[in-house]
Amino acid sequence: MLRKKKKEEDIYNDCWLYVLLLTTLVILLESIKKYTFNIMGANLTYAIFLLPIEYFIVSYISKKYDYKKAIAAIAISGVMLVCFTAVIAFSLKEQLLLTNVSGEFCGYITSQFVFLLIYFFLMNNTKMPPILVYANYLFSIMVFYIFYTLVYITHINLNHYWLGFLITIIIQGIICIGLVYIDTKIRRGQETNK
């Protein structure tokens, strides 16, 4: 009994590093969301290149540690998104409106929980076929955009919306191919080097 307890204490739990990484990435995405580039008349934000990585980090936390730590990581990063927005509004002496962050917050939290729920199901009930993992990434990204669009429908230029949506999904789909490849190579559970 003592031997088993000693072995468990030797495993260094570095989950907080990944929670910090996820939180930093969420704040970075919030910071660069206003910087755009143009493709075929559609304005796209540079944040589209980093959004799939958020899902990858949550999948890594879920696979390496557990479901509860992944939920905690999503909750902490979501709260920090709101806090960051409040601090920036205060420091720039702008009025803090809940609508300034509600689209990102609702989209982020909902899509991450949908992603995690499906991912956890795949992890426990299948052999994690790459096509299903890939479909989960894309579906979660689409859920994010649906919630974002619902909140900001009055601020969105609908002339090129569907073109921008399609281009965004294609770009993120290409990024997700590499992330899914790495994701399927990660083993479940913590490993010790002894």
Residues 58-112 have pLDDT tens digits of 999 999 998 899 999 999 999 999 999 889 888 888 887 777 677 788 889 999 9
Counting residues of the chain whose pLDDT is more than 70, the rounded percentage is 87
State whether CATH 2.60.40 applies to domain 8-185. no
Q: From start to end of the chain, where are the E strands?
A: 36-39, 42-45
- Both tokens of 90, joined, read 């205060």
pLDDT in tens, 133-161: 999 999 999 999 888 888 766 666 667 77
Q: What is the rounded distance in angstroms from the CA atom of residue 176 to the CA atom of residue 169? A: 10
Q: What pTM, to 2 d.p., does this model score? A: 0.85
8 Å CB contact between 25 and 57: yes
